[in-house]
Chains A and B, each alone.
Chain A
């Protein structure tokens, strides 16, 4: 197990390096000169050549490409992502709190999604083909076709405006979590409960279940056995789901004006604030790789067969 873990972590390091390099290259592909963007953003009325050279030197843009990449990488590892082009504040002071807010939303939603999909998946699998099963599946199929931002807007309109029960936006109290979490959970639980359902269904027909039944093991105990085995698949999928939710809260955050990474990144794109976009892409891509690694390790811990693969 230890050697597997080491290998898996070692594999992810070059991937992280390549991702960071690509992020850096991407951002330098921009058709606009960053120095020009900075000057525009700071509202300088007339851009002279002299001013451009001076700004370039200030931003370190006059150094060779590779040198700039390594400088940037070392700085990033120290959480120094440079300064925002627009406000001049350090990027981390903007992204740090936003990341925390998004993380809170993601963790709460993930917990709800995991509980909901395991519950629904197990119930539907055990009652396969009944009205409960069919209606839950039909309903989730319908919900999957709904644009999440549309659902969110409708919920705001109904719960926040019409009934005046919940706040429409921001994150002030636990009440602010209810609507965004509900929308995200509806969106994803509909997908993930199917994984749990099909994996429980697959295990229902295994020999060990038949054997346990033949031996007269109580049904509740058999269910526990099935659950333990079938949740293996679920664990890896949930590990994959967390970074995806982290990245896809963009739309929901904007609808609910959640002060998180999604709102921040859309705002920075509209104002062409490159350092923030760069940091956002890097942080989320790194999170994606890390969670993938983690899910592989957890899977290997649960299922020794998988350890040989690497």
Chain B
């Protein structure tokens, strides 16, 4: 609750949060919200300009662009969120085990992570798609395979800060089981780190996954997906450049909302940063945040 209150003080972050919630709800309720069937072909309305019935106009097959955008939320945002959640979960389990038990388990797990991270992101995805065949499902599998190692690394580092603290040692002495200690004493304190890291990679994941759909390796026609819509718009780019606008802007808006939110989340979750209203300090913090992000970019 306190986190939410802190977040709501930052107007930009609050707006981003509302936008993301609205997008997610719209994606879930797509059949009820979308004014038309996204795959309904109507050749008479080919390239029709926006009208009251078709608010964003129609594409090269006369399909309603707005409905396609709304249905496109499912693969472009919801499935990506799902993939992110799974990879964070796997990464968290691995990270907790490695960071808490240390020793040989830690060494072994980190070497596995090293190996996974030595395949550059795009190459790994192309490899998985090359083996399993094209399709959104396989791209998401590739992303889970590739991202969990990165999350495991970060979460392990976060866990290690707390393992040596007195209260954890005390719980050990009193005979609490390891699982209980992790669950009661370590998960709650590392949750904020996990939230920041995972929300920070959401934006780049949306961009990359829609990129693969744009290349024709992800979701297949006639399904609506933002990258796919851009791919279709590219075919008629020279005569109808305006078709690139709606899906492109949708991606930009959602990705910036996630980026703003993750920055704000970092500030809101770190008690040290809330108290400091000093502008200079705030800026310093910001560069640190960027530093963390950059590290992730160089890894992915």
**Is A222 located at the chain interface by the 8 A CB criterion?**
no
Nearest chain B CB to A38 CB, angstrom units:
16
If A147-B230, A161-B238, A250-B126 touch, whether A284 touches B115 (CB-CB below 8 Å) is no
**Is A78 located at the chain interface by the 8 A CB criterion?**
no
Complex formed: what's the CA distance from A142 to B255 in Å? Answer: 10
**Is A254 located at the chain interface by the 8 A CB criterion?**
yes
Kindly report which residue of chain A lies nearest to residue B244, judged by CB atoms. A153
Structural contact, B237 and A157, CB atoms closer than 8 A: yes
Complex formed: what's the CA distance from A142 to B252 in Å? Answer: 8
If A19-B118, A247-B120, A270-B134 touch, whether A149 touches B211 (CB-CB below 8 Å) is yes
Nearest chain B CB to A295 CB, angstrom units:
10
Complex formed: what's the CA distance from A243 to B294 in Å? Answer: 15
Question: Which residues of chain B come closer than 8 Å to A195, judged between CB atoms?
Answer: 290-291, 294
Nearest chain B CB to A307 CB, angstrom units:
20
If A153-B237, A265-B126, A292-B118 touch, whether A198 touches B288 (CB-CB below 8 Å) is yes
If A18-B115, A142-B256, A248-B120 touch, whether A26 touches B127 (CB-CB below 8 Å) is yes
Give the residue of B120, B131, B134, B241 whose beta carbon is less than 8 angstroms from that of A243.
B120
Structural contact, A15 and B230, CB atoms closer than 8 A: no
Structural contact, B119 and A237, CB atoms closer than 8 A: no
Structural contact, A270 and B121, CB atoms closer than 8 A: no
Structural contact, B132 and A149, CB atoms closer than 8 A: no
If A150-B244, A153-B244, A269-B217 touch, whether A288 touches B211 (CB-CB below 8 Å) is no
Binary CB contact string for chain B from 215 to 253 against chain A (1 if under 8 A, 0 otherwise) = 111000000000100100010011001001000100110
Complex formed: what's the CA distance from A203 to B252 in Å? Answer: 34
**Is B297 located at the chain interface by the 8 A CB criterion?**
yes
**Is A31 located at the chain interface by the 8 A CB criterion?**
yes
**Is A209 located at the chain interface by the 8 A CB criterion?**
no
Kindly report which residue of chain B lies nearest to residue A238, judged by CB atoms. B298
Structural contact, A19 and B132, CB atoms closer than 8 A: no
Give the residue of B114, B130, B248, B288 whose beta carbon is less than 8 angstroms from that of A150.
B248
**Is B214 located at the chain interface by the 8 A CB criterion?**
yes
**Is B123 located at the chain interface by the 8 A CB criterion?**
yes
Question: Which residues of chain B come closer than 8 Å to A129, judged between CB atoms?
Answer: 283
* Residues of chain A in range 254-282 having any CB-CB distance to chain B below 8 Å: 254-255, 265-266, 268-270, 272, 274, 277, 280-281
Structural contact, B119 and A285, CB atoms closer than 8 A: yes
If A19-B118, A251-B214 touch, whether A198 touches B291 (CB-CB below 8 Å) is yes
Kindly report which residue of chain A lies nearest to residue B119, judged by CB atoms. A285
**Is A227 located at the chain interface by the 8 A CB criterion?**
no
Structural contact, A281 and B127, CB atoms closer than 8 A: yes
If A248-B122, A288-B119 touch, whether A149 touches B214 (CB-CB below 8 Å) is yes
* Residues of chain A in range 1-37 having any CB-CB distance to chain B below 8 Å: 15, 18-19, 22-23, 26-27, 29-31
> For the complex, would chain B's binding face be called helix, strand, loop or mixed by DSSP majority?
helix
Complex formed: what's the CA distance from A30 to B138 in Å? Answer: 13
Structural contact, B215 and A250, CB atoms closer than 8 A: yes
Structural contact, B118 and A144, CB atoms closer than 8 A: no
Question: Which residues of chain A come closer than 8 Å to B99, judged between CB atoms?
Answer: none
Structural contact, B131 and A30, CB atoms closer than 8 A: yes
Structural contact, A141 and B259, CB atoms closer than 8 A: yes
Give the residue of A156, A241, A270 whose beta carbon is less than 8 angstroms from that of B298.
A241
Complex formed: what's the CA distance from A161 to B293 in Å? Answer: 36
Complex formed: what's the CA distance from A263 to B230 in Å? Answer: 18
Give the residue of A128, A145, A194, A285 whose beta carbon is less than 8 angstroms from that of B294.
A194
Structural contact, A247 and B259, CB atoms closer than 8 A: no
Nearest chain B CB to A310 CB, angstrom units:
14
Question: Which residues of chain B come closer than 8 Å to A255, judged between CB atoms?
Answer: 234
* Residues of chain A in range 158-191 having any CB-CB distance to chain B below 8 Å: 161, 191
Interface residues in chain A, defined as those with a beta carbon under 8 Å from any beta carbon in chain B: 15, 18-19, 22-23, 26-27, 29-31, 128-129, 141-142, 144-150, 153-154, 156-157, 161, 191-192, 194-195, 197-198, 201, 237, 240-241, 243-244, 246-248, 250-251, 254-255, 265-266, 268-270, 272, 274, 277, 280-281, 284-285, 288-289, 292
